[in-house]
Amino acid sequence: MVKFKLPENTIRRTVYLEKVRPFRNTNLIKVFTGQRRVGKSYLLYQIIQEILSQNPAATIVYINKEDLAFSAIKTANDLNDYVLLNKSQTGKTYVFIDEIQDIIEFELALRSLLLDLQLDIYCTGSNANLLSGDIAGFLSGRVIEIQVYSLSYSEFLMFQQLETNVKNLNLYLKYGGLPYLKHLKLEDEIVFEYLKNIYSTIIYRDIINRYSVRNVSFLEQLVLFLASNTGSIFSAKKISDFLKSQRINIAPNQVQIYNRYLVNAFIIQAVSRYDIIGKRIFEIGEKYYFENLGIRNALWGYRLEDRAKIIENAVYNHLAYCGYKISIGMLGDKEIDFIAEKNGEKKYIQVALSIHEKQTLEREFGNLLAIKDNYPKIVITMEPFSGNTVEGIEIVQLENFLLTN
């Protein structure tokens, strides 16, 4: 039984539904994390629809902290009391809590509710630290976290009802993959205004208000700096030194704190460097990528000179969507754009806007050939190519890569 109206004709995101199905009806909390407006709420709706399709009489308890109807649920005790009051007295109850981080000490309620084996609990949140970190530590391995990303390229085409071609690939690279874009006309003035408003909501609700940030101007300048230098290796000190040159005086430790806030709110993703020979993670010097390219472009502009950065960001996002653990490879003074690991296997990936120039060919392929193991090595480029490999290194067009899972 459900006491609210489910939206109709939603587009199913099967990748996430398949991830959560094995954990349905288990005594584990299923947590969907991710940036605001990536579609976490609609995933909850789709899970509810699946449950009701199998059992129309199932008891559903749904709480949405963005809905004023649930404004009375402020604390762990409020949450615990509401669920217990509305649960079935005779069988299984499915509990869905949207934007749970807005409930004070929610983790106390979750730990208590887990004691009831008749509850099957799902929740979403828009803060990585509060959810993946605090819940996992507090609930001792009784949590399954599934990070939800903006639409992949294939999902974008499905949502927009578009065909695969270069024009539509460029639309995706420019506007990103927030699901609501399917309701908007894909024009710069309209889409970028929407994306700027989403960005402002995230900045103010998930960073400024949550962490009581005082230096708002610096925070905004930092985001613009990261947008202009997407995919570059930086340390907090290097960022601090640059900002000082722009007469913005900020200490490196403050840069680190603000960077962490941006990562926790899923504005950016930090990627560490990995020493391929020494098999260790470097403690300083990371790359930063935007979770949503559309937001990056709305803030900084969609510039011709940034095309290489944009496609590198798109490759990173797709690897993350596909479930890879990603690092930047370092081989002496040579850099490998991405080492992607999953299920005990690796891929080494270089990204290049074009491979026409001899210098680019030597750099991208030479760096990969210097790696002395047998894992797959790939160069991804915007250019179509249907010829031979280069000493076993495959050349893949960006559009084809983004259509793989």
What is the rounded average pLDDT of the residues 37-57? Answer: 96
Q: 293-300 and 216-228 helices cross at what angle (nearest 10)?
A: 110
For residue 166, the model assigns a pLDDT of 95
Please determine, for residue 211, whether its predicted confidence score (pLDDT) is greater than 70: yes
Q: Give the highest mean pLDDT range of 3-7, 9-13, 74-78.
A: 74-78
Please determine, for residue 2, whether its predicted confidence score (pLDDT) is greater than 70: no
Confidence of residue 18 (pLDDT cuts 50, 70, 90): very high
Q: Work out the burial of residue 214: count CB atoms within 10 Å of its CB; fewer than 13 is exposed, 13-18 middle, 19 or more buried.
A: exposed
Please determine, for residue 158, whether its predicted confidence score (pLDDT) is greater than 80: yes
For residue 377, the model assigns a pLDDT of 96
Please determine, for residue 135, whether its predicted confidence score (pLDDT) is greater than 90: no
For residue 207, the model assigns a pLDDT of 94
Please determine, for residue 137, whether its predicted confidence score (pLDDT) is greater than 70: no
What is the rounded average pLDDT of the residues 90-96? Answer: 96
Domain extents in the chain: 14-147, 153-402
For residue 146, the model assigns a pLDDT of 93
For residue 91, the model assigns a pLDDT of 92
Please determine, for residue 134, whether its predicted confidence score (pLDDT) is greater than 60: no
For residue 133, the model assigns a pLDDT of 56
Confidence of residue 253 (pLDDT cuts 50, 70, 90): confident
d(CA 302, CA 310) in angstroms, rounded, equals 9
For residue 8, the model assigns a pLDDT of 85
For residue 384, the model assigns a pLDDT of 81
For residue 17, the model assigns a pLDDT of 97
What is the rounded average pLDDT of the residues 187-207? Answer: 97
Residue of higher predicted confidence among 387 and 174: 174
Please determine, for residue 346, whether its predicted confidence score (pLDDT) is greater than 80: yes
What is the rounded average pLDDT of the residues 377-397? Answer: 89
Confidence of residue 306 (pLDDT cuts 50, 70, 90): very high
Please determine, for residue 140, whether its predicted confidence score (pLDDT) is greater than 80: no
Q: What percent of the chain has pLDDT over 90?
A: 76
Please determine, for residue 291, whether its predicted confidence score (pLDDT) is greater than 90: yes
Residue of higher predicted confidence among 327 and 358: 327
pTM of the model: 0.94
For residue 282, the model assigns a pLDDT of 85
Please determine, for residue 264, whether its predicted confidence score (pLDDT) is greater than 60: yes
Q: What is the CATH number of domain 14-147?
A: 3.40.50.300
Confidence of residue 277 (pLDDT cuts 50, 70, 90): confident
d(CA 85, CA 43) in angstroms, rounded, equals 25
Q: Is 172 left (phi over 0), alpha (psi -120 to 50) or beta?
A: alpha
d(CA 366, CA 336) in angstroms, rounded, equals 10
Out of 43-52, 114-123, 215-224, pick the least confident.
Answer: 215-224
Residue of higher predicted confidence among 96 and 215: 96
Strand ranges in 208-352 using DSSP code E only, listed in sequence order = 233-234, 268-275, 280-290, 325-331, 334-342, 345-352
- 105-120: b (≥16 Cβ within 10 Å) or e: ebbbbbbebbeeeebb
DSSP structural state of residue 11: P
For residue 252, the model assigns a pLDDT of 85
